[in-house]
């Protein structure tokens, strides 16, 4: 029997740099097949070729045993292929329902867009995923996890036979992951084939049938999930034995550089206490909505603190705004980096120096030569 999907000897270079070297991927109907590999292994590139975002340099793609030429995103859809990309591709100023139906809006008899039907159908999809959202809400008012769910609904609601999910759970809460896994099981039962990209071993165990491992753009192996241990997978992924990995360096000192006491802000942040030592990486865990981002926003001066104390190197600082936070030596990489972390239409030089322009000021003028050398 022919495979639902077969990608054979796929090669791709970007400006002469080879990113995929003779890659293979096989998918059966009703299978959940994981694509696993370290950052930069080429997973997203491989599936962007399948989705018509990039064209391959050489190799073959077969759907149901027939060779197909995927010339673009529309052509991929015509072959029943849908991709949920790692970077969200929703339009902020349109509603959930408009985003779900973009390009395939239901029409009235008169040929106009049937908004009522569209909203009702979209609401049905949202409800079936147990999401507490209205189909008429704007994308810009949703958090990242909710947007991710809309992206997923958009891909799975229109009869695709091959669905690719590129790291879909990276910003989902446990409940949302459960809803996604239920949706995946329902798709499996309908004989849809799913390619699932994730680093999370527990997820691979829970939902995948087989796993294909890639490393540095090369195909390494395809294994059956049930017959493979986590250690085997890590060894395939990194090409080294496990003993060499995860060397723990405890190189933080006793020196406390940041101390937060009884920090409170609005409903989200209540009585937060912690200490950060020099050289330490301190993790904050909790569900979406538990106040992690809000706590950091307070410390970075993006959010007003109602009470509490912040000490840097044992001196209390009064962080009134972002400027005082930066002057005190604090940097923030925000959650939604595309939205609030960078100025996308500006170059790297601009982005890397905008927060520290003062350092390059000389008699009231910017020393752009110095900026260049630091960049
Ligand atoms: P993964 O998804 O496994 O993390 P990617 O497919 O995103 O890996 O990237 C594989 C390699 O290809 C990386 O080295 C990346 O920098 C490079 N790459 C990806 N897209 C492009 C592009 N559009 N132009 C140039 N290089 C790219
Ligand atoms: Mg990727």
**What percent of the chain is modeled with pLDDT above 70?**
87
Q: Beta-carbon neighbour count of residue 105 at 10 Å?
A: 15
| Residue 157 to residue 163: CA distance in whole angstroms | 11
pLDDT(302) > 50: yes
pLDDT digits (tens, 9 = 90+) for 186-202: 889 889 999 999 888 88
Mean pLDDT of 16-20: 95
State the closest ligand 1 atom to the C-alpha of 37, by its place in the atom list counted from 1: 3
Confidence of residue 55 (pLDDT cuts 50, 70, 90): very high
Residue 11 has pLDDT above 70, yes or no: yes
Residue 158 has what pLDDT?
76
Flag whether pLDDT at 250 surpasses 80.
no
Of 128-132, 217-221, 244-248, 282-286, the least confident: 244-248
As for ligand 1, residues whose beta carbon falls within 6 Å of it are 14, 19, 37, 39-45
Which of 33, 34, 76 lies closest to 54, judged by CA?
76
The domain segmentation of the chain, as residue ranges, is 5-93+138-244, 256-337, 342-375
Mean pLDDT of 218-223: 96
Q: pLDDT tens digits, residue range 166-186? A: 988 777 777 778 878 888 888
pLDDT tens digits, residue range 225-237? 999 999 899 999 9
Find, among 85, 66, 240, the residue nearest to 155 by Cα: 85
Half-sphere exposure of 77 (CA within 13 A, CB side): 11
| Bridging pattern class, strands 17-27 and 307-312 | unpaired
For ligand 1, the distance from its centroid to the CA atom of residue 228, given in whole angstroms, is 27
Yes or no: say if 12 and 54 are a contact pair by the CB < 8 Å rule. Answer: yes
What's the whole-number average pLDDT of the chain? 86
What six digits make up the tokens of 363? Answer: 């008699």
Q: Which tokens hold the place of 223?
A: 């294994």
- CA of 216 from ligand 1 middle (Å) equals 10
CA proximity to 193, closest of 161, 148, 230: 161
Residue 147: predicted pLDDT: 85
Take residue 349 and report the two structure tokens written for it.
Answer: 């030089």
In CATH terms, the superfamily for domain 5-93+138-244 is: P-loop containing nucleotide triphosphate hydrolases (3.40.50.300)
Domains 5-93+138-244 and 256-337 share a fold: yes
Class of the 256-337 domain?
alpha beta
Tell me the pTM.
Answer: 0.68
Instruction: Say how many Å lie between the CA of residue 169 and the centre of ligand 2.
Output: 13
């Amino acid at each position: 029997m022919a495979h639902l999907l077969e990608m054979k000897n796929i090669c791709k270079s970007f400006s002469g740099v080879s990113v995929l070297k003779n890659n293979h991927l096989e998918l059966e109907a009703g299978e959940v097949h994981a694509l696993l590999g370290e950052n930069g292994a080429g997973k997203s590139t491989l599936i962007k070729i399948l989705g018509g975002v990039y064209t391959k340099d050489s190799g073959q793609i077969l759907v149901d045993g027939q060779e197909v030429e995927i010339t673009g995103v529309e052509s991929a859809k015509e072959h029943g292929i849908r991709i949920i990309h790692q970077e969200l591709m929703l339009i902020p100023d349109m509603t959930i329902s408009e985003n779900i139906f973009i390009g395939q809006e239901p029409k009235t008899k008169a040929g106009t867009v049937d908004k009522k039907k569209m909203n009702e159908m979209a609401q049905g999809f949202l409800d079936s995923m147990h999401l507490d959202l209205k189909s008429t809400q704007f994308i810009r008012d949703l958090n990242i996890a909710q947007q991710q769910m809309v992206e997923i609904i958009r891909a799975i609601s229109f009869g695709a036979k091959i669905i690719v999910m590129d790291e879909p759970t990276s910003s989902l809460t446990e409940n949302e992951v459960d809803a996604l896994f239920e949706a995946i099981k329902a798709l499996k039962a309908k004989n849809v084939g799913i390619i699932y990209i994730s680093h999370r071993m527990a997820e691979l165990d829970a939902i995948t049938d087989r796993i294909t491992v890639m490393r540095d753009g090369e195909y390494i192996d395809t294994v059956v999930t049930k017959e493979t241990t986590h250690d085997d997978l890590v060894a395939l992924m990194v090409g080294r034995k496990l003993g060499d990995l995860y060397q723990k360096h405890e190189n933080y000192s006793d020196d406390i550089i940041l101390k937060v006491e009884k920090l409170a802000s609005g409903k989200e942040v209540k009585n937060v206490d912690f200490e950060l030592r020099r050289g330490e990486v301190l993790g904050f865990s909790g569900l979406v909505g538990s106040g992690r981002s809000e706590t950091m926003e307070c410390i970075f001066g993006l959010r007003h603190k109602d009470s509490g104390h912040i000490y840097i190197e044992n001196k209390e600082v009064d962080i009134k705004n972002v400027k005082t936070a930066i002057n005190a030596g604090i940097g923030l990489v925000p959650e939604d980096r595309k939205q609030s972390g960078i100025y996308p239409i500006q170059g790297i030089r601009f982005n890397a120096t905008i927060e520290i322009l003062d350092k390059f000021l000389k008699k009231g003028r910017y020393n752009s030569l110095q900026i260049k050398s630091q960049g």
